[in-house]
């Protein structure tokens, strides 16, 4: 019989039974929870002066977790958002143990009482139209790799997809219209939590994708690296960074921006909003669960704020009406008063 006080069996059940079987969380979420435990357990073992496989559930008490979170910020240099993400994984582990072991309910309550730290929300970075056009023009399209990179950048801008979503894209996910004058081409994107959404493709994007996937099997990934292997999200990030550095020599404003695939996602949303696309359509386009997540683009777009401000600006009445005389200069009024 498994000792209910030993932590190791609970960790195994949490990762294999709870995250995968019960909740069916996305692979990236599973990895995030796993990485949290890979950092937490050695820290707790050192604090408790025990081997990791001999740790008890109660060794993971609230004070040590607070010290772990402090260590993340001060020693590892993690931002508050990362600190809160690690804490969310620990809360989830405590909830799992508490819900299956009544004797640990009090311990669970103490762990879950550790609060998240409030973080200052940073301003979302996006590219202006000229900057995005320059980035799209950066690859050398006389080479095979340059054509792939241009297509990839265009696809990111067209769909607003995350790097991981693009990395797992297969040829079967592409649906090119047989009659472009009547039908729309689209792509099926697997988002966070394995949620599916379909995004329309521009004719230009279809024209770039067609030679890239022609003659290949439908189960193959769309974007491959030089070795013919699927391009990873890290490879996509590196590619975007490389072309940004190249373009920044001609466009100095890019030197002040940290450009990543997610920046292009923000750029797509902002440009769609400027073009008059409904905010709820953009929410579905990007795969946001809540409209509140999408509303942030309306808040950061300076151009739209300026247009709204212009509509509210008071009109200068002096242009249509002659200036009125001050009362001291109104001789008729003064004559009237003297005549009383």
How many angstroms separate the Cα of 91 from the Cα of each of 41, 65, 97, 108, 111?
15, 11, 10, 8, 7
Residues 100 and 154 in one domain: no
Of the chain, the percentage scoring pLDDT greater than 70 comes to 83
For residues 142 and 244, membership in a common domain is answered with yes
**Residue 242 and residue 236: Cα distance in Å, rounded?**
10
184 and 219 housed in the same domain: yes
As a whole number of Å, the CA-based R_g of the chain is: 29
Please check whether residues 242 and 138 belong to one and the same domain. Answer: yes
Q: What's the distance, Cα to Cα, between the start and end of the chain in Å?
A: 111
Q: Based on the fold, state whether residues 171 and 232 are members of the same structural domain.
A: yes
Q: Mean pLDDT in the chain?
A: 86
Report if residue 104 sits inside a domain: yes
Q: Is residue 275 part of a domain?
A: no
CATH code, domain carrying 59: 1.10.150
Residue 262 is among the residues annotated as catalytic for this protein: yes
Indicate which residue of 86, 104, 162, 221 is catalytic: 162
Mean pLDDT of 120-137: 87
| Residue 311 known to be catalytic | no
pLDDT > 60? residue 306? no
Per cent of the chain over pLDDT 90 is: 62
Contacts 24+ apart (CB under 8 A), 67-71: 67/43, 68/39, 68/40, 68/43, 68/44, 69/114, 71/43
Q: 322: Cβ–Cβ under 8 A, 6 or more apart, which residues?
A: none
3-state secondary structure of 2: coil
Domain-terminating residue out of 256, 284, 309 = 256
**Number of domains, the chain:** 2
pTM of the entire structure? 0.69
Please indicate, yes or no, if residue 94 is contained in any of the structural domains. yes
State whether 97 and 172 are in the same domain. Answer: no
Q: Which pLDDT belongs to residue 207? A: 93
Do 235 and 176 lie in a common domain?
yes
Range of the domain at 235: 131-256
Q: Assign 61 a pLDDT band (cuts: 50, 70, 90).
A: very high
- Residue that wins the pLDDT comparison between 312 and 235: 235
Q: Tokens 């990111």 label which residue?
A: 156
Instruction: Please identify which of the residues 33, 126, 243, 297 carries the catalytic annotation.
Output: 297
- If asked whether residues 96 and 161 sit together in one domain, one would say no
Q: Is 297 a catalytic residue?
A: yes
Q: Is 31 a catalytic residue?
A: no
Catalytic residue among 34, 50, 100, 192: 192
Instruction: Pick the catalytic residue from 148, 265, 271, 283.
Output: 265
Show which of 256, 274, 304 is a domain's final residue. Answer: 256
Q: Which of 207, 206, 212 is nearest to 147 (CA)?
A: 212
Q: Would you state the pLDDT for residue 1? A: 46
- For residue 308, name the pLDDT band (cuts at 50, 70, 90): very low
DSSP helix/strand/coil, 190: strand
Domain with residue 185: its CATH number is: 1.10.443.10
pLDDT tens per residue, range 166-195? 999 999 999 998 877 778 899 999 988 778
Statement to judge: residues 99 and 141 lie in one domain? no
Asked which of 240, 256, 272 is the last residue of a domain, the reply is 256
């Amino acid at each position: 019989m498994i000792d209910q006080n030993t932590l190791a069996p609970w960790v195994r059940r949490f990762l294999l039974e709870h995250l995968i079987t019960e909740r069916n969380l996305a692979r990236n979420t599973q990895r995030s929870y796993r990485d949290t435990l890979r950092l937490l357990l050695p820290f707790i073992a050192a604090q408790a002066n025990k081997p990791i496989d001999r740790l008890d559930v109660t060794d993971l008490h609230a004070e040590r977790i607070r010290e772990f979170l402090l260590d993340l910020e001060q020693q590892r240099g993690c931002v508050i958002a990362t600190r809160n993400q690690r804490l969310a994984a620990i809360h989830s582990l405590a909830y799992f143990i508490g819900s299956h072991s009544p004797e640990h309910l009090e311990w669970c309550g103490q762990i879950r009482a550790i609060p998240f730290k409030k973080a200052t929300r940073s301003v979302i970075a996006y590219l202006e139209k000229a900057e995005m056009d320059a980035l799209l023009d950066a690859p050398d399209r006389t080479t095979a790799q340059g054509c792939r990179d241009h297509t990839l950048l265009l696809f990111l801008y067209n769909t607003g997809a995350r790097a991981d979503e693009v990395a797992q894209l297969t040829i079967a996910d592409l649906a090119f219209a047989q009659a472009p004058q009547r039908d729309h081409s689209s792509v099926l994107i697997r988002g966070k939590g394995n949620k599916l959404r379909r995004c329309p493709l521009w004719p230009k994007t279809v024209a770039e994708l067609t030679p890239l996937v022609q003659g290949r099997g439908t189960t193959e990934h769309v974007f491959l690296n030089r070795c013919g292997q699927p391009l990873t999200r890290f490879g996509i990030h590196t590619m975007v960074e490389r072309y940004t550095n190249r373009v920044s020599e001609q466009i100095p404003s890019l030197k002040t921006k940290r450009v990543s695939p997610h920046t292009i996602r923000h750029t797509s949303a902002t440009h769609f909003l400027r073009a008059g696309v409904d905010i709820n359509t953009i929410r579905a386009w990007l795969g946001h669960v809540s409209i509140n997540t999408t509303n942030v683009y309306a808040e950061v777009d300076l151009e739209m704020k300026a247009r709204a401000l212009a509509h509210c600006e008071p009109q200068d009445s002096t242009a249509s009406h002659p200036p009125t005389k001050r009362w001291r200069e109104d001789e008729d009024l003064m004559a009237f008063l003297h005549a009383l």
